[in-house]
Structure 1
């Protein structure tokens, strides 16, 4: 069975059309043109604001003219991550999706269900004149995954809707009414290099097979961080042997838990066997600690030829200490919402090469003071070794509104349709609603969507049955939008 044959076909076909267009964050020219052509091809009012967000407007169905105008909002960019052994060019190739039992997945790459399913659902409403709906303003934002630039720079004057349906939540039984804000911390430290003398042997070191995932939604699951685990292994090897990093490259994206780390180390020959034995011992300990959550973790240490240089002993000690003491994972749980992560940080990327040690991390919090607290902790940690620290990309959280009118409508519909109560949650991910509220302060906002697992990783998948469930609810919500 082909993905296009799944129900509801109108949604899955639009999803496959999207996945045929390369759309990594920061490289959205083709998908923006695709969306403009889509809207214009339907004869609908289609426009693009100065930053590149696409807005497509559709008049109300007959008899629905007195209902409140609804903004359907989703982002058109996607996280571009692949397995190390997958040959794929995100800037030129379309995603190769396939059916695996109850799920749709991609071959060795992220699937783009985040947020392609939301985009496809909005497209389905725009392209089908049999669906009953109020006046629609479909807002397709750019660059959500690498800074929420589209939401930040939105021209709110082009929108008049009073209800906003964000289609970017990843559990089909959940309504999101709040989210975390975030800030990026990037650091750089210049280290002294030394020649690798004849009494050192160089080894390739690699750690892979971790699950990774979304550094907001999955941060509480205790998954291994490849950067921290690699550093731990190297630290232990250093204790009774002269081990130096020559180069290191761990992680890939600022908002993904790092799954892999690769590098080269130099080991002084007089303690070489000790370092190798220590590597094996520490790896065994780590695999035992993470056996339940990271069953596929693999690490290797193999001799190699290397012609570069190594980090000086003084700088090696400073770098390893800075990584080891980097605050990471859950910093604080919410006192107000049981089970909700309030504040966290993820060390997303570590690069050591050509005299420069660089890190990228992302701090998140449901409250502004918590975000600043964890960001300060990261900043001070790296400043202690003399690193330059740059913080930016700051975006606000979305404070929950338990008295939301659209929330009450949707709770009633969900209970009636599925004979169950939905989960009403605030999430630790960075939804665009917090930023959009600054441009659209009068909008009543809610987020929902189908069930997606492992976003931001090549294991991303979307549950087939949940797409039908989401679509049925979506149609009923549009039909029951309150009157003006």
Structure 2
């Protein structure tokens, strides 16, 4: 299947993408891909350096006639979100991504594709390996762990790069030039709870919500997609109000930056209430599915019998848990009053895990206004503390303040209009890009982000558009050819 991808144009870039996708590269487990990129740079006899956190910098001199242009850093992250469908057998730690071509799109078989940000990384590799592309001096910067903490960008020290301009290749709409982004913070609540054993005529029941669209919790938070954790809690709260249900476990969501697609809860119920309870679940499910028919057309709510659980949550903790999760804000918190259509602040209730006397609730709070980000995070923290959770705010990273008058913005805006006959959408985004963090140690560096059309990032529906890559690639080359003089 990768041969099908390798034959696409531009071949030099798609071949680099196929090579990269053959290497396992989960966030925080990047040892193999770090070695792969390092060997790639050294095989080209280019200056290659791995810093103390694992970022790779590969420097390539300017092509003849371009020596007097400003040095350009081209940056992408090499880790990827690892998500798969529940019925897909796949080991992300050992297997390469299985890609295929579907019309105008490259997709993966039941897993994330890694186009975020593998297309960007492959573009840098293709430029570094090129022999006939005009460009100024280049510094390829491959950062690690962007998806689960941005620790690569945070660990990059000042003085390692000489560039005056940075092209970040991590945007997912080919008509956009991004010049600003949101910051974020991880909010976590954890703790333990008392369990009970129940007597009487009871049976076990498993309740599953699956088939939601999921997606990127920053770039797609404005689309109103269903959150499996919030929907499961809504069901359990309603059932708890009418029936004698006791929760044994809840397992919903996954990574903080992915909108949760699935949640599973195991219950102990009275045998005498089974029929009426299942009828109520079906009725509630029909309402929820109808509400999300546009955003999550494949949603399912399933009921099946299971062995009676030996232990359940104490009645008091169950009462508090359902109300605490209900109180957590999810989705858009505030739109920007200054930039039309921009989500300013949001929260993703990413993970709810309750089992065997321990629980964890994980959120990712984003905002382009730092003070508002902190305020919402404290709001969430307070809700968790009412449950009795030990809470923490970790992985705080800054936003990226737009500089629309920067020379690189003006250059690329003009080039885009000349090349495609219409204006680019110069904007800020609600996702977390590394530019804000990198700019703390390189404050004078001009930065801009762009890339081809990628849809469904952070979900198994991820895909990258072939024709969009074929639009983006010559735009990248034209930009490099027109970098201004020093």
For normalisation by structure 2, the TM-score amounts to 0.98
Q: Residues of 2 paired with 1:81 and 1:133: CA distance?
A: 36
How do 1:211-360 residues align onto structure 2 when only pairs under 5 Å count? 211-360=213-362
Matched, 1:8 2:5: no
Q: 1:85 — aligned with what?
A: 87
Q: Which residue number in structure 2 is paired with residue 70 of structure 1? A: 72
Taking the aligned partners of 1:62 and 1:295, their CA distance within structure 2 comes to: 55
CA contact (8 A) 1:240 1:271 kept: no
4+ residue segments displaced more than 3 Å = none
Deviations 1:199-248 (A, max 9, x none): 22110111100000000001010100000101111111111211111011
Distance 2:39 2:158 in 1: 22
Contact 2:248-2:309 at 8 Å conserved across structures: no
Q: Measure the CA separation in 1 of the matches of 2:266 and 2:202.
A: 12
- 8 Å CA contact 1:241–1:274 kept in 2: the answer is no
Q: CA deviation at 1:301?
A: 1.2
1:162 aligned partner: 164
1:274 Cα shift? 2.4
For the Cα contact (< 8 Å) 1:238–1:275, is it kept in 2? Answer: no
What residue is the counterpart of 2:106 in the other structure? 104
Partner of 1:152: 154
C-alpha distance in 1 between matches for 2:19 and 2:120: 13
Q: After TM superposition, give the deviation of residue 181 of structure 1 in Å.
A: 0.1
2:475 maps to which residue? 473
- Looking at structure 1, the residues matched to 485 and 425 of structure 2 have their Cα atoms a distance apart, in angstroms, of 26
Structure 1 residue matching 2:159: 3-state secondary structure: helix
2:132 to 101, 106, 130: 130
- Distance across 1 between alignment mates of 2:398 and 2:349: 20
Unaligned runs of at least 5 residues, structure 1: none
Kindly provide the CA deviation profile for residues 115-151 of structure 1, in whole angstroms up to 9, marking residues without a partner as x.
0000001111100121000000000000000000000
Aligned residue for 1:337, secondary structure, equals: coil
Alignment partners' CA distance in 2, 1:308 and 1:93: 37
Structure 1 residue 307 displacement after superposition: 4.2
Range moving further from structure 2, 228-237 or 302-311: 302-311
**TM-score (ref. length: structure 1):** 0.99
Deviation of 1:293 (Å): 1.2
Asked whether the 8 Å contact 2:268–2:309 carries over to 1, the reply is no
- Which residue matches 1:47? 49
Q: Which residue of 2 aligns with 1:387?
A: 389
Task: Compute the RMSD of aligned alpha carbons.
Answer: 0.9
Q: Encode CA deviations 1:294-342: one digit per residue, 9 max, x unaligned.
A: 1100011111114431111111110000111111100000001000000
Partner in structure 2 of residue 116 of structure 1: 118
**Is the 8 Å Cα contact of residues 54 and 152 (structure 2) preserved in structure 1?**
yes
Shift, 1:263, TM fit: 2.3
CA deviations 1:321-367 (Å, max 9, x no partner) are 01111111000000010000000000000001011121110000001
- 2:369 is aligned to 367
User: In 1, are the aligned partners of 2:180 and 2:401 still within 8 Å (CA)?
Assistant: yes
1:387 to partner: Cα distance: 1.1
1:386 Cα deviation (Å)? 1.2
Aligned equivalents of 2:221 and 2:402: distance in 1?
Answer: 21
Range that drifts further, 190-199 or 57-66:
190-199
Maintained 8 Å contact 1:236/1:278 = no
Return the offset for 1:270: 3.6
1:423 match: 425
Asked whether 1:378 is paired with 2:383, we answer no
Alpha-carbon distance in 2 for matches of 1:268, 1:190: 26
Aligned-pair CA distance for 1:189: 3.0
How far does residue 90 in structure 1 lie from its aligned partner after superposition? 0.5
| Deviation at residue 427 of structure 1 after TM alignment | 0.3
Distance 1:130 1:270 in 2: 76
Partner of 1:239, secondary structure, is helix
Deviates more, 1:430-439 or 1:385-394: 385-394
Map of 1:186 onto structure 2: 188
Aligned residue pairs total 484
Q: How far is the alpha carbon of 1:273 from its aligned partner? A: 2.5
**Does the Cα contact within 8 Å between 2:214 and 2:225 map onto a contact in 1?**
yes
The 1-side partners of 2:242 and 2:129 are apart by 67
Aligned with 1:158: secondary structure? Answer: coil
Instruction: Provide the C-alpha distance between the structure 2 equivalents of 1:131 and 1:72, rounded to a whole number of angstroms.
Output: 15
Contact residue 61 and residue 135 of structure 1 kept, 8 A = yes
Task: Work out which of the residue numbers 33, 57, 60 in structure 2 matches 1:58.
Answer: 60
Matched, 1:443 2:451: no
CA–CA separation in structure 2 for the residues paired with 1:244 and 1:104: 45
Alignment-derived partner of residue 200 in structure 2:
198
Q: Distance in 2 between matches of 1:274 and 1:373?
A: 43
Secondary structure at the aligned position of 1:346 is classed as strand
